[in-house]
Structure 1
Amino acid sequence: MRIVRFIGGLLTGLIALVLAVALFVYWFDFASSMAAAAGIGALGYVFLWMAFGLNLLLWTVAGLLRLAEGGVRKALRRRPEDLQRTAVTGGRHRERVLVGAGGPGGGVALAESGPEAGAANGAVSTVEPGGDLTEQRLAETTIAVIIPAHNEEPVIDTAISSALGLFNRWDIYVVSDSSKDATAEIAAKTGVNVLELLTNRGKAGAIEAVIEEFSLTENYDGVLILDADTELDAGYVEGAKRQLLDQDVAAVAGFVVSEWKPRERNIIGRIISAYRDRLYFMLQYFMRFGQTWKRANTSFIVPGFASVYRSRALREITVNPPGLVIEDFNMTFEVHRKRLGRISMRPDTKAYSQDPFTFKDYRKQVGRWTLGFWQTVRRHKVWPSFFWVALALYIIEVVLVSFLFLVTVAIAVFVLIGTFGGEAVAGLPYFSDGFTAVTAFLPLTALMIGLLVPDYMLTCVMTMIRRRPSYLFYGLFFFPIRVVDSYLSLRMIPKAWTAKSDGRWSPPTRVNNKDKK
């Protein structure tokens, strides 16, 4: 059975790769011809690459530089020529290591290590702070887990069980934000710490309350904020602690992975989950990985679903300022604005998040996230920094691409109506003249190829990576979701300056994973 799955996955990857390459060649050739015919030359190629995102390309390059730098450092650590000499005698490996300032005359004593070195080398220090020292520091790093929850009865037990697999129960703190269901009771039965708020304060207010109630930033080195619909990967804690060993790190951003359980979802839920999986993969590997390179440090989001803040940084952060609908963008901006340290992200801090099951819940969630981003921009305004230069480039691209995308969609709808509407629309005032003018410059074929093909190419790439052939089908329905995303990106800009938010939230439809297994 395992061999069959391997062969099936390999064939899926090959088919998706061939399809992606064929679509790219066709799209690029068609778009280049259109650009040449329109006489826009080099500028046309800029717009072509904007179909994939200039920020994505920029930070992908930064991510590759980060990988290259990491590879060079590993190579140098393997050959510390100024401290270590290696010789081979009689087929046995010997190392000569500096151990101190030496005896009279300033000489340096050398000790040999190997099978025959014995107890005489007990005082010899290793060249690198090797495994034992690192493991000791990891063991000494303490992290508290906060799980804010509001009416999360279906999933709270799963989140707690996930945390209990990696933490002691006395290090887990559930804060029930005035839940009307059995959230607090279920949490209490697991033996973890539970704080029940009588007044609904919102997620940020709940986090603030539990930190103050248990003095978490005074008693722990770091605080993990974990959503009630999230499950931690087995390697999450070690990955987070290893990143916190770097004292410059103020926050460790969790690496979100969409929960893929298609049997638990209807067709709409599967499309949403597949779309989110593609989106998260692209943003994290090709954008945030580069943004969290220590030489850049421009990531504008430490996602609130499963991320760790160093306690000394968290003490300086205003977690719950008035007027914000969500907390994670604001907390990230605070790290940059107050220069509390850098943000770290690596794929070894994975956590699995449950995506919305309905299109209505998806729209509400994305609207809330987008509103929170623009509210945070409004609150912090602009300050001189490299962070804001990168953020400005991102904002410009989001606004411009969203606007152009929606305009192009509107033009495509207009052309579709004119193409298939017949005499019913041809007689409308000015319609025929407008239709003729638009199609002379942008025929229906060009609109469809420009809107659909680049997006589907990305789906083919994701199908190859995940080896999930069903993505080739679900990807056909991603287009309406992109329209909603673009609309909300623009719609929430004025709302961020007019809407009053108190941070209260109601969770979307949840599914109890344990009941489904």
Structure 2
Amino acid sequence: MRTARFIGSWLAGAIALALAVTLFVQWLRFALDSAAETTPLPLLLGMAFGVNLFVWSLVGVARLGDDSARSVRERRVAAARRRALAAGGGAEAAAPVGAAEADGDRVLVRSRAAAPGADAGTVPVAPGPDDTAPTAAQPVPASAAPADPAARGPEAPERLDLAVVIPAHNEEPVIDGAITSALRLFNRWDIYVVSDSSHDATADIAAETGVNVLELLTNRGKAGAIEAVIEEFELAENYAGVVILDADTELDSGYVEGARRQLGDPSVAAVAGFVVAEWKPKERTITGRTISAYRDRLYWLLQYLLRFGQTWRHTSTSFIVPGFASVYRTSALKSIDINPKGLVIEDFNMTFEVHHKRLGRISMRPDTKAYCQDPFTLGDYVKQVRRWTLGFWQTVRRHGVWPSLFWFALFFYILEVVVVSVLLLATAALGLFTLVPLATGGAVLDVDAYATGYAAVTSVLPLTTILIGLFVPDYILTCVLATVRRRPSYLVYGVFFLPMRLLDAYLTLRTVPQAWTTRSDGRWQSPTRASGRL
């Protein structure tokens, strides 16, 4: 049975690839014929694939060559280091990387103990009967030096102590899965859950796992919760880096190793997680599956063809470290204003802070994969995209423009996003305009004004050109992803991806003026969740 599924998945991938090649050849032929008549080919190509995607894909190819050369050099250095350690016969050479220290070497508590004068907005969860009673203001490794980690200079990746922060608000269905995922890779005393005024059992479930729990009575929003837990446990003073996870995030087995390896470069201030959309079609409706498949395609395009080039060590122009799974070096985190007033989300702002204050570069590699749960309903999808786009424009407004390669790249990205959004919506509107006569049997053409407009539009953009010029290239991208993922069902859901792009374009343009007129408090809006995990 397993062999049959394996063969079937590869056969489905081959069919999707053949369909993609066939459609691309036919579409290119159609585009060239249209360009020779009335429709400009660059317009169709630009709306189909985007200039930024093409340019940064080329940069990504250059990065592949550079990374390969660096990897060879790093392996040689690592081999020389292992030989030197083996020759020295030290105990360090024999110790397994990441091995947990004895319980007596650590202070293990569930949360910070209440102290006179403590923040009245926090309620510590008492330690369980089997846990060591709190003997310090915060749970930290006894061997951790109090000095700034950056002051100790570059460290071997395996020596980088990382704290895990999981902010949550009414995340009862998924919080256990996120903590369980983190416990596979981290010691429980290094995991900190902050329940931001949850009205369900989020804090209780977290406390039962034995991790550190901070419960806020006042809703501060995600950024405020992150800021509170970092300050309460003094994480920036006791760890080299802080991992920030969403409550629905599950980490890949290689996430920690990849994050530490990237932080081993002292020029790296933050590591962007490599997002992978979960695919559990049996738990979703048709709408939910379409959203998940669409997001999978979007993540694949943005990360492999855009952000991979933007996070090259010679560029570092990525404008987002996704908040679902990010790592910040604490020496940089101390200089970041995590929770400024008026922003609806925090991740764009934290990324801009890194660039604006020149705290280091952003790094991203596919070895820091993490899985997220995308919206299940169209309503939740619209709310999420609106928050994301509004948060982006608010961050642009807050930070303004400053001379840098980052802003040079960001300017052309913003320009393309706005122009393509306008063109997509305008072209779709023209398509509907030319479709009305077909739907009414030509009755509307009896109106002189409509007939004149119809003749003018169809002379430049006939309905067939609009449908084929927009839908086919979009569907080709879906065929490519169906090939990569070996998921033939994407060929069905891909029919609805162009309307999803139109919805994204509308929300992008609608939130531009709102960024200058809307003041946000960053408070949580919990979407529909599913308790089933990957």
Length-normalised TM-score, structure 1: 0.88
Q: Is the 8 A contact 2:31 2:44 kept in 1?
A: no
Equivalent residue number for residue 518 of structure 2: 499
**Aligned partner letter, 2:216:** L
Equivalent residue number for residue 473 of structure 1: 492
Give the Cα separation in 2 of the matches to 1:394 and 1:211.
33
Provide the secondary structure at the position in 2 that maps to 1:51. Answer: helix
**Aligned partner letter, 1:288:** R
Shift of the alpha carbon at 1:139?
A: 3.2
Give the Cα separation in 2 of the matches to 1:484 and 1:32.
29
Provide the secondary structure at the position in 2 that maps to 1:294. Answer: coil
Give the Cα separation in 2 of the matches to 1:79 and 1:140.
20
**Aligned partner letter, 2:374:** D
Give the Cα separation in 2 of the matches to 1:487 and 1:504.
24
Equivalent residue number for residue 109 of structure 1: none
Tell me which of 122, 125, 140 is aligned to 2:87: 122
The 3 A distance-change label for structure 1 pair 272 and 402 is same
Equivalent residue number for residue 48 of structure 2: 51
Shift of the alpha carbon at 1:122?
A: 3.4
**Aligned partner letter, 2:68:** G
The 3 A distance-change label for structure 1 pair 76 and 138 is closer
Equivalent residue number for residue 237 of structure 2: 218
Shift of the alpha carbon at 1:141?
A: 1.1
Shift of the alpha carbon at 1:320?
A: 0.3
Q: Deviations over 1:224-278 (max 9, x none)?
A: 1100011111111111011111111000000000000000001000000000000
Equivalent residue number for residue 67 of structure 2: 70
Shift of the alpha carbon at 1:46?
A: 5.9
Provide the secondary structure at the position in 2 that maps to 1:478. Answer: helix
Task: Report whether the alignment pairs 1:15 with 2:34.
Answer: no
Equivalent residue number for residue 327 of structure 1: 346
Shift of the alpha carbon at 1:124?
A: 11
Give the Cα separation in 2 of the matches to 1:440 and 1:137.
65
Give the Cα separation in 1 of the matches to 2:448 and 2:384.
41
Give the Cα separation in 2 of the matches to 1:281 and 1:505.
27
Give the Cα separation in 1 of the matches to 2:171 and 2:487.
30
Shift of the alpha carbon at 1:428?
A: 3.9
Which 10-residue stretch deviates more, 31-40 or 219-228?
31-40
Give the Cα separation in 2 of the matches to 1:198 and 1:236.
32
Equivalent residue number for residue 6 of structure 1: 6
Give the Cα separation in 2 of the matches to 1:131 and 1:430.
84
The 3 A distance-change label for structure 1 pair 423 and 445 is closer
Q: Deviations over 1:414-460 (max 9, x none)?
A: 11112221254234451122112211221111010012001000000
Tell me which of 285, 301, 308 is aligned to 2:304: 285
Give the Cα separation in 2 of the matches to 1:433 and 1:267.
41
Note the 1:421-436 alignment, pairs <5 A. Answer: 421-428=440-447, 430-436=449-455
Task: Report whether the alignment pairs 1:296 with 2:293.
Answer: no
**Aligned partner letter, 1:51:** A
Identity %: 64
The 3 A distance-change label for structure 1 pair 313 and 34 is same
The 3 A distance-change label for structure 1 pair 123 and 175 is closer
Q: Deviations over 1:186-239 (max 9, x none)?
A: 111111111111111110001001111000000111001100011111111111
Q: Is the 8 A contact 2:38 2:459 kept in 1?
A: no
Give the Cα separation in 1 of the matches to 2:442 and 2:454.
13
The 3 A distance-change label for structure 1 pair 325 and 131 is farther
Provide the secondary structure at the position in 2 that maps to 1:388. Answer: helix
Q: Is the 8 A contact 1:151 1:506 kept in 2?
A: no
Equivalent residue number for residue 256 of structure 2: 237
**Aligned partner letter, 2:25:** V
**Aligned partner letter, 1:66:** R
Provide the secondary structure at the position in 2 that maps to 1:317. Answer: coil
**Aligned partner letter, 2:58:** V
Give the Cα separation in 2 of the matches to 1:477 and 1:173.
40
Q: Is the 8 A contact 1:143 1:221 kept in 2?
A: yes
Note the 1:186-265 alignment, pairs <5 A. Answer: 186-265=205-284
Give the Cα separation in 1 of the matches to 2:528 and 2:276.
19
**Aligned partner letter, 1:64:** V
Note the 1:399-438 alignment, pairs <5 A. Answer: 399-428=418-447, 430-438=449-457
Shift of the alpha carbon at 1:280?
A: 0.2
Q: Deviations over 1:22-51 (max 9, x none)?
A: 1111111111111111285xxx33652442
Equivalent residue number for residue 294 of structure 2: 275
Equivalent residue number for residue 87 of structure 1: none
Task: Report whether the alignment pairs 1:359 with 2:356.
Answer: no
**Aligned partner letter, 2:17:** L
Equivalent residue number for residue 131 of structure 2: none
Q: Which runs of 5+ in 2 are unaligned?
A: 99-154
- What is the CA RMSD across the aligned residues, in angstroms? 2.4
Q: Is the 8 A contact 2:311 2:363 kept in 1?
A: yes
Give the Cα separation in 1 of the matches to 2:247 and 2:19.
39
**Aligned partner letter, 1:449:** I
Give the Cα separation in 2 of the matches to 1:220 and 1:76.
29
Q: Is the 8 A contact 2:276 2:299 kept in 1?
A: yes
Give the Cα separation in 2 of the matches to 1:449 and 1:131.
63
Give the Cα separation in 2 of the matches to 1:424 and 1:173.
66
Give the Cα separation in 2 of the matches to 1:416 and 1:51.
21
Equivalent residue number for residue 465 of structure 2: 446
Q: Is the 8 A contact 2:437 2:443 kept in 1?
A: no
Shift of the alpha carbon at 1:78?
A: 7.3
Give the Cα separation in 1 of the matches to 2:57 and 2:178.
33
Equivalent residue number for residue 483 of structure 2: 464
Provide the secondary structure at the position in 2 that maps to 1:27. Answer: helix
The 3 A distance-change label for structure 1 pair 71 and 137 is closer
Give the Cα separation in 2 of the matches to 1:363 and 1:6.
36
Shift of the alpha carbon at 1:161?
A: 0.8
Task: Report whether the alignment pairs 1:30 with 2:30.
Answer: yes
Equivalent residue number for residue 368 of structure 1: 387
Q: Which runs of 5+ in 1 are unaligned?
A: 85-96, 99-112, 114-118
What is the total number of aligned residue pairs between the two structures?
Answer: 474
